[in-house]
Amino acid sequence: MIFDALTTFGHEQVVYCHNKDAGLKAIIAIHNTVLGPALGGLRMWPYKTEQDALNDVLRLSRGMTYKAAVSGLNLGGGKGVIIGDPNTDKSEALFRAFGRFVNSLNGRYITAEDVGIDVNDMEWVLKETEYVTGVHQVHGGSGDPSPFTAYGAVQGLMAALQARFGNEEVGKYSYAVQGIGHVGMEFVKLLREQGAKVFVTDINADSVQRAVDDHGCEAVALDDIYDVAADVYSPCALGGTVNHATIPRFKFKLICGAANNQLATEDCGDEVERRGILYAPDYAVNAGGLMNVSLEIDGYNIERARRMMRTIYQNLGKIFAIAKRDGIPTYRAADRLAEERIATIGKIRLPHMGQSGTRFLGRMRGL
Ligand code: NAD
């Protein structure tokens, strides 16, 4: 059963982690390490069944492989899930037990924060393993990735504007932004700084008021966001909002935002394409968060982070070029770029480069 799933998605390894005393039931999935160690967040969720947890960790870890590959990072894709309620089941023992399992993988998997996990939980994990990112700045971490995600999304937006309109003047266009949380608020701020017209909506009325008062955005009702006569739709809340019910309402010419999994189903990507709406693939646009934590591996530096975010512009350009070259929708082109990079980089790593290190030299001397 499990091998069927691994074969379908192409995973390398799945580790079931159990510690009775700590109440730990976790799964770590390593999808692909051709480009580097598998980096991906740890999610804590009260999954109804073990199968639900397995499905989630397999799907998410595969997604990380594609995000890292498309973003030019030397990282593979992995993910961890803890089965439990983040409101009631957290303890020091739980996270330290999880940390020991991460450590046992010897760097094949590097963990980070995801849904249900906060920076304090990661500090427990850090007590047991160094293979952790997204810890507090005092431990050499990179802090909240959201401003970087927003900045990176604007780089992706510029590339998308260039592809769709032939110029990248952010301020010339109008935007319908759904969700003004950590990423969305920073995103609208950057848009407004360039003089763009920005419509916003959020289930949180206070956030909407802040966007209006502090950044001069225009508020619209929750469901009306799909009908706004703006050039660009920027989903920055939930996934699945580009679906067969919403697409017919779109007057947008471009979809570019930070939310994960924006297309409800793949055929929605085909449908927007048919309607002449350019879709900027979400996992390439919102890779700033991953890029930011990836820099913790060999020493975080904010200048390197900003430089790296700017490569999102080029990455989107490559995706649009592949879409044109192969006559395929952009969501498929993003996958193709990732797969091509894994295949080509995987091949250059194939020849054996000789062995270094004292252990090997010692053996040579002993011969
Ligand atoms: P967040 O929770 O801070 O913000 C989400 C906002 O969306 C909240 O203000 C929430 O009230 C609002 N919202 C929820 N449902 C809504 C609805 N139906 N209509 C309108 N608004 C709604 O989360 P975030 O960190 O800003 O992340 C936003 C999105 O970007 C998520 O999809 C996340 O997976 C993705 N993302 C975030 C990062 C990051 O660095 N934080 C990185 C990559 C991707």
Q: Mapping DSSP to helix (H, G, I), strand (E, B) and coil, where does residue 306 land?
A: helix
* Structure letter (DSSP) for residue 299: -
Query: How far, in Å, are 199, 236, 329 from residue 182 at the CA level?
Result: 17, 9, 30
CA angle (174, 180, 184) in 5-degree steps: 70
Helix then strand count (H, E) for the chain reads 13, 11
Q: Answer for the pair 47, 15: CB distance below 8 angstroms, yes or no.
A: no
Distance CA 117, CA 99 (A): 13
Listed in sequence order, the residues at least 6 apart from 140 whose beta carbon sits closer than 8 Å to its beta carbon are 296, 299, 300
- Where are any strands of DSSP class E within 7-83? 13-19, 24-32, 38-45, 76-83
DSSP string computed for 183-235: HHHHHHHHHHHTT-EEEEE-S-HHHHHHHHHHH--EE--GGGGGG---SEEEE
Ligand 1 pocket, residues with Cβ under 6 angstroms: 145-146, 149, 178-184, 201-204, 207, 222, 236-238, 258-260, 286, 289
Q: At 133, give phi and psi (nearest 5°).
A: -125, 170
- The tokens of 203 are what? 């289930």
C-alpha gyration radius of the chain: 21
- How many angstroms separate the alpha carbon of residue 203 from the centre of ligand 1? 11
- Residue among 26, 43, 32 nearest 113 (CA): 43
Q: Name the percent of the chain lying above pLDDT 70.
A: 96
Candidate list 25, 67, 79, 90, residue with the active-site label: 79
pLDDT at residue 268, rounded to an integer: 98
Whether the predicted pLDDT of 357 surpasses 70: no
| CATH number 3.40.50.720 is the correct assignment for the domain at 146-328 | yes
pLDDT at residue 89, rounded to an integer: 97
Query: How far, in Å, are 47, 121, 272 from residue 28 at the CA level?
Result: 15, 17, 35
- How many angstroms separate the alpha carbon of residue 109 from the centre of ligand 1? 26
Domain ranges of the chain: 2-132, 146-328
pLDDT digit string (tens) for 275-302? 999 999 999 999 999 999 999 887 888 8
- How many angstroms separate the alpha carbon of residue 259 from the centre of ligand 1? 6
Q: Answer for the pair 161, 173: CB distance below 8 angstroms, yes or no.
A: yes
Query: How far, in Å, are 270, 318, 321 from residue 324 at the CA level?
Result: 14, 10, 5
pLDDT at residue 30, rounded to an integer: 98
What type of residue sits at position 18?
Answer: H
User: Which numbered atom of ligand 1 lies nearest the CA of 257?
Assistant: 30
- How many angstroms separate the alpha carbon of residue 68 from the centre of ligand 1? 20
Distance CA 272, CA 215 (A): 30
Q: What integer is the mean pLDDT of 110-121?
A: 91
- Class of 2-132 per CATH? alpha beta
- Which strands form 24-32's sheet, in the order they lie side by side? 13-19, 24-32, 76-83, 38-45, 109-113
Are 2-132 and 146-328 in the same CATH fold?
A: yes
- The tokens of 360 are what? 């090997």
Distance CA 53, CA 58 (A): 9
pLDDT digit string (tens) for 291-347? 999 998 878 888 999 999 999 999 999 999 999 999 999 999 999 999 999 999 988
Q: What integer is the mean pLDDT of 127-156?
A: 90
Distance CA 282, CA 94 (A): 33
Q: Mapping DSSP to helix (H, G, I), strand (E, B) and coil, where does residue 162 land?
A: helix
User: Which numbered atom of ligand 1 lies nearest the CA of 145?
Assistant: 40
- The tokens of 164 are what? 């769709």
Q: Answer for the pair 48, 120: CB distance below 8 angstroms, yes or no.
A: no
Distance CA 266, CA 101 (A): 35
Band of pLDDT at residue 231, cut at 50, 70 and 90:
very high
pLDDT at residue 143, rounded to an integer: 81
Distance CA 253, CA 300 (A): 37
Band of pLDDT at residue 359, cut at 50, 70 and 90:
low
pLDDT at residue 364, rounded to an integer: 45
The rounded mean pLDDT for the chain is 93
What type of residue sits at position 16?
Answer: Y
